[in-house]
Structure 1
């Protein structure tokens, strides 16, 4: 797993720097205002899964799956619901990484 670095966006705006999605998955910061941006340059749709750690009354909480259409770009909020208490980061997996790029951005607090 690769640890994605968050880019803080200034109030005047900024460039989003994408990196290739890792075949073994990635991790990223969580919190209010954190956004995972996924760009799918492939001819097929791909699914990004945000692992949801924890349980409620002994039942596992379902992971969040987000489908990214071919040629599309989506933003996915990564709030603290996805924070793994053992790492302090969210775990991300992908059904495939062909032509998939990701970036993590957050606004100024």
Structure 2
């Protein structure tokens, strides 16, 4: 598991540094950030945003799972505070595959 820092952009342009997803343990990103996922692999992957806590009936809140097609780029976020782990204050994202997959975490 890695904690990824949100990169900021400039009016004159910014080259965003990619990170390879950590895999099964997932990655942690700040509340309010956006994550750009580039799936360069030959197959679809799932991106899971873990949803902590329970609903008002005591049931676990379902995780958010989104498929990203082979060769596609998808943007997630901004992440609301209720998606953050109450202890770390960070949002957990898990990619089902890591080979040829890149994450870019951005603060807009």
Q: TM above 0.5, one fold?
A: yes
Q: 1:97 offset after TM fit, Å?
A: 1.2
Stretches of structure 1 lacking an aligned partner (at least 5 in a row): none
Return the alpha-carbon distance in structure 2 between the equivalents of residues 11 and 52 of structure 1: 34
Q: Deviations over 1:54-87 (max 9, x none)?
A: 1112111111111111001110002223111111
Residue 64 (structure 2) aligns with: 64
Return the alpha-carbon distance in structure 1 between the equivalents of residues 11 and 59 of structure 2: 41
Residue 3 (structure 1) aligns with: 3
Residue 88 (structure 1) aligns with: 89
Return the alpha-carbon distance in structure 1 between the equivalents of residues 19 and 55 of structure 2: 35
TM-score by length of 1: 0.88
Residue 14 (structure 1) aligns with: 14
Q: 1:6 offset after TM fit, Å?
A: 0.6
Return the alpha-carbon distance in structure 1 between the equivalents of residues 31 and 11 of structure 2: 20
> Which structure has greater strand proportion?
1
Stretches of structure 2 lacking an aligned partner (at least 5 in a row): none
* 2:103 equivalent to 1:102: yes
